[in-house]
Structure 1
Amino acid sequence: MREDNHTTLASVGSDAFTLEHSLKFKRQLLQHVFDNALESIIVTNADGVIERVNAAFTQITGYRAEEVLGKTPRLVQSARHEPDFYKRMWHQLLLTGSWSGQVWNRRKSGEVYPQWLNINTLTNELGEVTHRVAIGHDLSGQRSVEQDRTPFTFKDPLTQLGNRQLLTSRLEQALAEAQRNRIRVGLMVVDLGRFKALNEQLGMTWGDDVLRQQARTLQAAVDEADTLVRLQGDIFAVLRHSRAEDTAMAQLADKLLGLLARPLVLADNNVVSMQPSIGIAVYPRDAREPENLLQAAEHAHAMARRNGRNRFQFVDQRQHELHHRELVIEHSLSHMLNTGEADGISLHYQPQICPVSGAITGLEALLRWTHRSLGQLSPAEFIPVAEQNGLSVRLDRWVIEQVCIQMEAWQRQGRRPPVVSVNLCADQFSQPDFCDWISATVARFGLAPAAFKLEVTESTMVEQMGAGVGMLRRLREQGFLLSLDDFGTGYSALSCLHRLPLDELKIDRSFMVEACESPRALTLLHTIAQLARQMSLSLVVEGVELPEQLALLKEFGPLTVQGYYYFRPMPAHDVCALLPAAP
């Protein structure tokens, strides 16, 4: 038995030695690659502070490692790019974890040079960002030999046209020339249409045949001075370096639509017809940066497809600005949720009042946002952006944590806060960990679940009835209070109201407005109050702003009101003065 144990320990020791030796070898190998790579490598921490650079970085930029460690990559940025360029870069980085593209950077000598940059994000086992690695290839020696490198770097192998990388390079040159000579540059994004259906119906071999035929059609139709590339799939781009007036661009687009829509005969005598769409953007009217011009053309192309295909569409500046505004909001929300930097986002609290005693019986936590570039943003604008881009779940949880922090602070200040209401988005009900997460979060701050009222809208409950009821029951078992918000607006939850484990009904402000003007609306409001009382549910009426509105509610029995008549939403420090002292 002792010999077996000895053998086992020796084996374990041998395995441990082998593992350590293997790890050491891998570390040495990675260090060798890092030190001898031809591309510059920058390693930053999660906050963007440079931790390591390699020898190629020093050779390309002229900066020694000790000159850049502890600084940020802004040290090598040039002034060639507008702020929107970097906003889009960070938008993609935060959403996908990676970004690649051409940038103009500056050497220590002051020389500006082009670089192809790939940035990737590293995370730990919890999914938290730990580092970012930027690998850059110096393109400054490449311009003169672009033609020689085209077969390998700038050419699409299927169609033999240029690719996205060529477009990036030519766009940079075209816009620089256009700025010097004060001329216009046009950019078209063209898709063939019905390509996915064709691939599924006939197979990818015939799909490739269609791409090659249409590529030849496009090549014959555009001017020799134009740059024609295949971006991806069945999407092409035409860069017009001159003669980019709207009339000329429209004539070219109309010509391309007619040519691309002609029936195609494939090798097996199948005949197919496509339904092309074209989006057009023009420098400098629609954008001044290469990335932004391409984005504008892509947005116009999406609008052309949405409006029925077989058409071209110039940039609708208003729609484009709205789209850009949404991208800025989305990027800012992602940045806030990933870094914890509030960036103008804060919570206000609106008191809920007992009209008989005048006492504050609750508070509703409401998001407010003063954006650094967009100004004051309404939740009606940024909440839908969060929902459309999958950020609403994380935003909910950020709000809950901020409320916990604030309630703990009020208690430390010797105040006794009432119940605080927090709104939950519909997507929260598809998160299996939410009940455990909120319970653990509240406990972490030493708070009781009964100090929180979770509000869900009537429409959410109708849509999420299956998963929603189960989650609500579990939350109520944990001690949280539950409120059905916007009751009676848009959907009818009457048929399933008895199934919901609720503590409260909340009446939307629109009922209060209509009740002052319509006896029938007042009767309906009175009926809802009776329903709530008979089901042993508390009732909150929103939107009480005038004395006559409050007077209408005198015959409704016990209820709570929320509205400007008593208080507007206010910052936490203003609320503190209204709270009673803790016993």
Structure 2
Amino acid sequence: MKNATTIREGYQPLAAVAACATNLTDFASHGLHFKRQLLQHLLDHSVESVMITDVNGIIERVNSAFTEITGYTAEEVVGKTPNVVQSSRHAPEFYQQMWQELAKTGTWNGQVWNRRKTGEVYLQWLSINTLTDEADQVTHRVAIGHDLTALKSTRNGRSLFTFNDPLTQLGNRQLLTSRLDQALAEAERNNIGIGLMVVDIGRFRQINEQLGLAWGDDILRQQARTLQAAVDEADTLVRLQGDMFAILRHSRAQDSAMAQLADKLLGLMSQPIILADNNVVSLQPSIGIAIYPRDATDNAGLLQAAEHAHSMAKRAGRNRFQFVDQRQHDLHHRELLIEHSLHHVLNTMLGEGLSLFYQPQVRPTDGKVMALEALLRWQHPKLGPLSPAEFIPVAEQSAQSVRLDRWVIEQVCMQVALWQQRYSQVPVVSVNLSGQQFSEKDFADWLLACVKRAGITPQSIKLEVTETSMMAHRERSVAMLGQLRELGFKISLDDFGTGYSALACLHQFPLDELKIDRSFMVEASQNARAFLLLKTIVKLAQELSLNLVVEGVEEQAQLDLLANFGPLMVQGYFYHRPMPVIDVAKILDLG
């Protein structure tokens, strides 16, 4: 929609109405013939509606555009008040403020919901000017209006905005956005609440698949009629997309009223629908509800909050409504911010805020650093330092983990190359792979090309994959990891003991190393049976010729438990915390 400034520019020709007749009485009785002709021409040929009232608000004259827009002829409205076109969408305070401003300044401009003769409510930009006589007494008021829901180009006659959904004949998302803007402005001005519902009919995909698109469209039209009959006349009902609708409530937006409406809609929409071929369809609608200003204070935020509440209702089992859970909404908003920021960071290719820390893996018999694990850190510009436990799952859910992995690998390869130029012995560096890499057919070729560009060998890099992701992508992971291992990369099974723990399957995977998760180590230090299981896993790994890394070693007592387990490496705070590159250099200097 055009902003208010642009829209007002369209009214400049009709501003001449007031300019050429500052005294309407003078015009009517004593004005010049030229002024009468000019005013008549403007009234007859304007696309804006014009209504002229006397000082008491009684309509004296309207133009043909008024009739075209409202459906009322001059004979039907002359002698009446403007209430004839008034909708019920504004609170009484709205009109009180309008009249107060007219009395104070002589003019009023703004968006108003009015009603056509057919009963249809439409959005109008309205400019009201006050006319006075020589004694500066108010004689008339001129209201100039433009129908914003049917804004036309006078040059080509083509509609500039399409607010109609052709399937259901309801409004569409554009109409909702337009009316949300107006409703929010009015709500802020009058300190009132508004409500927004997002509704889906449920099981729509199955209906399309089982009965076909034609029946699906018919059901959508039926449900649209059901919703239209159920909502208030002053509500805005639109089809957002697919089987999703939205209802904007301009008044009575308290929780109790919104819940009452939602409960009513669920009852109506879940009724079985009998189709023409006697098929019976049962639907499972879900409704999400957001309230201004509690849940959001702007257009996009309110719609996002309602959509999130709708998503929660679906997850909870459908056929129910859900208000915004503020804690869940805040968490969802935070996740979206992380997702969008991550997308930006990866697209700029600068890795802004991203950095790598390295945690040594130590041989406890002599304290020698045998390997380094690269750990990703992120200093978010708005949220501050983010834990990988928070942003890695977001990257996976938003299908960005593949690109994030590759950014890390590229940085590691360049860093290893720099170290190898300076030091004669550089430990192997391990990087973590997400399960989504197993779906990337080019990964092995890409990785080999990456290490070659950096000028290092595959033997310099160790790839850590979790037990869970390997088992979830079993066939693909076996094939890909086997290919990578043949190229010279080391393969480590990470977080062993937290996932499937399929001991019998270990021999089927192309592995060089087994990493026992920190939680397993903690349990083994407190429980005799867990300690016995740990001992068994260590023995099994040795028999399979797998290197062994035990994570989470933080105390001497834990290290003592491993004293008789044979050759292994430990990783944990007892020796080293994750450290930046500059501190790794100090360790390599000692090596």
Shift of 1:285: 0.8
Whether 1:566 aligns to 2:543 is no
| 1:168-198 deviation line (CA, Å, top 9, x unaligned) | 1111111122122221111011112233333
Please say which structure displays the higher CA radius of gyration: 2
| Counterpart Cα distance in 2 of 1:178 and 1:334 | 35
> Paired residue for 1:461?
470
Work out whether residues 467 and 500 of structure 2, in 8 Å CA contact, stay in contact via their aligned partners in 1: yes
Change in 2 beyond 3 A, CA 1:458/1:260: closer
Change in 2 beyond 3 A, CA 1:227/1:507: same
| Counterpart Cα distance in 1 of 2:589 and 2:288 | 61
Equivalent of 2:372 in 344, 353, 363:
363
Secondary structure in structure 1 of the residue aligned to 2:589: coil
> Paired residue for 2:183?
174
| Counterpart Cα distance in 2 of 1:273 and 1:429 | 40
Secondary structure in structure 2 of the residue aligned to 1:421: strand
Change in 2 beyond 3 A, CA 1:330/1:526: same
Work out whether residues 393 and 427 of structure 1, in 8 Å CA contact, stay in contact via their aligned partners in 2: yes
| Counterpart Cα distance in 2 of 1:149 and 1:574 | 66
Equivalent of 1:326 in 329, 335, 349:
335
> Paired residue for 1:144?
146
Shift of 1:461: 2.4
| Counterpart Cα distance in 2 of 1:515 and 1:272 | 56
Equivalent of 1:486 in 485, 488, 495:
495
> Paired residue for 1:339?
348
Work out whether residues 421 and 454 of structure 1, in 8 Å CA contact, stay in contact via their aligned partners in 2: yes
Change in 2 beyond 3 A, CA 1:274/1:524: closer
Change in 2 beyond 3 A, CA 1:471/1:264: closer
| Counterpart Cα distance in 1 of 2:203 and 2:293 | 32
> Paired residue for 1:402?
411
Whether 1:310 aligns to 2:319 is yes
| Counterpart Cα distance in 2 of 1:140 and 1:378 | 53
Secondary structure in structure 2 of the residue aligned to 1:368: strand
| Counterpart Cα distance in 2 of 1:517 and 1:167 | 60
Work out whether residues 417 and 580 of structure 1, in 8 Å CA contact, stay in contact via their aligned partners in 2: no
Whether 1:214 aligns to 2:216 is no
Letter in 2 for 1:146: L
| Counterpart Cα distance in 2 of 1:580 and 1:305 | 57
Letter in 2 for 1:433: D
| 1:188-237 deviation line (CA, Å, top 9, x unaligned) | 11112233333334333333332223222222222222111111222111
Segment of structure 1 superposing worse, 483-492 or 248-257:
483-492
| Counterpart Cα distance in 1 of 2:473 and 2:280 | 46
Change in 2 beyond 3 A, CA 1:535/1:305: closer
> Paired residue for 2:432?
423
| Counterpart Cα distance in 2 of 1:492 and 1:351 | 25
Shift of 1:473: 2.1
| 1:303-325 deviation line (CA, Å, top 9, x unaligned) | 11222222211111111112112
Shift of 1:541: 1.0
Work out whether residues 415 and 579 of structure 1, in 8 Å CA contact, stay in contact via their aligned partners in 2: no
| 1:348-378 deviation line (CA, Å, top 9, x unaligned) | 1001111111111111001112222223322
Whether 1:296 aligns to 2:305 is yes
- What is the aligned length? 448
Change in 2 beyond 3 A, CA 1:140/1:424: farther
| 1:400-430 deviation line (CA, Å, top 9, x unaligned) | 0011122233345557431101111112122
> Paired residue for 2:84?
none
| 1:235-292 deviation line (CA, Å, top 9, x unaligned) | 1111111221111111111222222233444445554443222111011111112111
> Paired residue for 1:391?
400
Equivalent of 2:260 in 251, 259, 273:
251
Secondary structure in structure 1 of the residue aligned to 2:197: strand
Letter in 2 for 1:194: R
Segment of structure 1 superposing worse, 218-227 or 204-213:
204-213
Secondary structure in structure 2 of the residue aligned to 1:243: coil
Change in 2 beyond 3 A, CA 1:248/1:510: same
Whether 1:436 aligns to 2:445 is yes
Whether 1:518 aligns to 2:520 is no
Change in 2 beyond 3 A, CA 1:436/1:177: same
Shift of 1:581: 7.0
Letter in 2 for 1:274: L
Work out whether residues 423 and 588 of structure 2, in 8 Å CA contact, stay in contact via their aligned partners in 1: no
> Paired residue for 1:286?
295
Secondary structure in structure 1 of the residue aligned to 2:162: helix
| Counterpart Cα distance in 2 of 1:269 and 1:459 | 48
Change in 2 beyond 3 A, CA 1:170/1:492: same
| 1:116-165 deviation line (CA, Å, top 9, x unaligned) | xxxxxxxxxxxxxxxxxxxxxxx999x93323349861111122111111
Whether 1:194 aligns to 2:196 is no
Q: What are the ranges of 5 or more consecutive residues in structure 1 without an aligned counterpart?
A: 1-38, 40-58, 61-113, 115-138
Change in 2 beyond 3 A, CA 1:581/1:286: same
Shift of 1:531: 2.2
Write the mapping of 1:215-230 to structure 2, written as runs, cut at 5 A: 215-230=224-239
Letter in 1 for 2:585: C
Shift of 1:386: 1.4
| Counterpart Cα distance in 1 of 2:395 and 2:504 | 30
| Counterpart Cα distance in 2 of 1:493 and 1:266 | 51
Shift of 1:342: 2.4
| 1:467-494 deviation line (CA, Å, top 9, x unaligned) | 2222222212211112122223321332
Work out whether residues 416 and 581 of structure 1, in 8 Å CA contact, stay in contact via their aligned partners in 2: no
Percent identity of the aligned residues? 67
Change in 2 beyond 3 A, CA 1:498/1:193: closer
Change in 2 beyond 3 A, CA 1:375/1:205: same
Secondary structure in structure 2 of the residue aligned to 1:579: helix
Segment of structure 1 superposing worse, 388-397 or 269-278:
269-278
| Counterpart Cα distance in 2 of 1:537 and 1:265 | 64
Work out whether residues 415 and 580 of structure 1, in 8 Å CA contact, stay in contact via their aligned partners in 2: no
> Paired residue for 1:351?
360
> Paired residue for 1:160?
169
Secondary structure in structure 2 of the residue aligned to 1:435: helix
Report the TM-score when normalising by structure 1: 0.72
Work out whether residues 281 and 293 of structure 1, in 8 Å CA contact, stay in contact via their aligned partners in 2: yes
Report the TM-score when normalising by structure 2: 0.71
| Counterpart Cα distance in 2 of 1:353 and 1:324 | 41
Secondary structure in structure 2 of the residue aligned to 1:357: coil
Change in 2 beyond 3 A, CA 1:153/1:558: same
| Counterpart Cα distance in 2 of 1:177 and 1:261 | 34
| Counterpart Cα distance in 2 of 1:355 and 1:295 | 53
Write the mapping of 1:79-118 to structure 2, written as runs, cut at 5 A: none
Secondary structure in structure 2 of the residue aligned to 1:188: strand
Letter in 2 for 1:504: E
